[in-house]
Amino acid sequence: MSVEVDASGIVLVRVPHFTQKWRIEAFVQERRDWIERAISRQARRQEKLPQIREEDKALYVKRAKAILPGKIQQYARRMGVCPTGLTVTSAKTRFGSCSGKDRLSFSWRLMAYPEAAIDYVVVHELAHIRYKDHSRAFYRFIESVLPDYRDRIRLLKGI
């Protein structure tokens, strides 16, 4: 059994299919203090993140299409990689992705974050062209381009 609190503060409990209800309740009760702390932590984190309204989508999409190609070109040249294309998406749970065919996708929601955070996501996705995983070598590659990448990740997480 496991329990997690997602970014919006929703508690998710995973259990085997035929687990008895009393066992699930006891499991949750044993972890009540941790769950309450995690909900508070997520609430504080959400307060620090940019408030993104669906009504602003057109502005963010326009901004993404204006600035991402230049950033991708700049960093791709520096990293020695060659993406095959760019898509701006409405993804809610991830800022970017890199397909197996090296096509990059970025959520328009990323445009609400500071430029340092946007640069990190661009570099992260470009690094996936060379490394299709999140290995140590992958993060060393990112660090060779952005030595402060850990600080940039904190911007995205609202820490």
Judge contact between 86 and 39, C-beta under 8 A.
no
The pLDDT of residue 41 is above 90: no
Fold of 54-157: Zincin-like (3.30.2010)
| Averaged pLDDT of the chain | 93
User: Domain-by-domain residue ranges, the chain?
Assistant: 2-48, 54-157
Could you give the 3-state DSSP secondary structure of residue 10? coil
The whole model's pTM is what? Answer: 0.76
User: Tokens at residue 108, please?
Assistant: 């328009």
Q: What is the pLDDT of residues 74-116, one digit of tens each?
A: 999 999 999 999 999 998 889 999 999 999 999 999 999 999 9
Question: Residue range 118-136: average pLDDT?
Answer: 97
Phi, psi of 8 (to 5 degrees): -90, 5
